[in-house]
Chain A
């Protein structure tokens, strides 16, 4: 039993850090535009399948395949912003982005079926099929690699946003668009940057997770929803909350999986619903305080 718990914890942290990575993408576009890309899961899928093509078909090293997946999904972020966000964000309260990003996700799924077929494809792990002993359990090295890269990336993004001039400018746009504009910051370009970062994070998540799941056209839907749950659960405007939310959801579903693997999704979402009923702004969401 202890062995199972230990294994569930490591697997949960690795899946959870993928959720955290995707959810960080939701966070970046939400704070800058108030919109989310509901196709994040499909960007993850493209990252995985394009990575697979680079790694297996073209025989490139895994590191280059990661770079390729990140670049391609990042570029797709530019297109996404241009066709699905900018045209529908004319009004501040517009919610049309919900439909337009879902539409993009459907297009991507169908395109992926055309390009890569509908089957689940094995993504060979770059670290081999063996396991490493950590404590009592055998862990796939890929799982540890995922945790390290995903969490490292989440922290790197935060350092970029808080320390670099470009990141500060992006945060300024997020906080107050007009004030940022009169500073000479090109606001529309910062919005594009937000979608590029967000999409690239999902793409990175895809190529990281593919070796422990499978790569296929429909792989993105569930992680996209879970990452959304993590973002809401953690508090959409709080990057640390989102990180913790992602990890908690990852670990919880693996723990529930020990009890009954058919019920793990259901129980996980039930738990999130209960948590939100108690704290509607999320785990670490800002409680709105009105100053008079």
Chain B
């Protein structure tokens, strides 16, 4: 290898290693903290290596809870979060696919108005419209419900927009071949368009699942009953408890690590489809 290319490779790798470290070190520290005892935090001696209390801490957080400090077990919250994230991801995909199909393939009056109206919501995430949205959800009596948790987050344009781009990249000849093959719009949608968008659906599912999993502000607003607490809200409550009472930072960190596992599992599990959906055009 010529020295220039060598140097370039070294520089690139150095940058990648630094970036990876910047991402990994906090997670490692959180993991280390999760394996320590409460006393270590008081002593200010956490260090860089895992302590001996890992299994006990994770077990306490996940299943038993710490009634002394008023901590509920984490698994119901994980379950709630899973349901919410799935509702949001699947709901969005289910709504966006037909919406994108309509604005791409049908010439109806005010089509572009419809599209741009959908597009406009891209600029209005929940955080921006939180007060009116809360009002609407409250008026509909959806506070403390699954619908209240997921519906306002389902209604947004990202997925519609992405599917529209995907559909537009499907060659016209394929549509025409299907018309000659006597496939009506619905047949075409289910037999041709949907299978061709498989990887895009997968990629979007990953993104939306993580988006739903990480929701914080909205679940905090619309839920007051503990059974609807999502894991992110749970961490916040733990941190509050740790601030005021005993230093249960080991539990906080253990919960954070637990909250990290499902999204990572989704990304790793769907890695291949995810990457293909983002970079490859199979058409």
Do A and B come from the same complex? no
Which residues of A are at the interface with B, using a C-beta cutoff of 8 A?
none
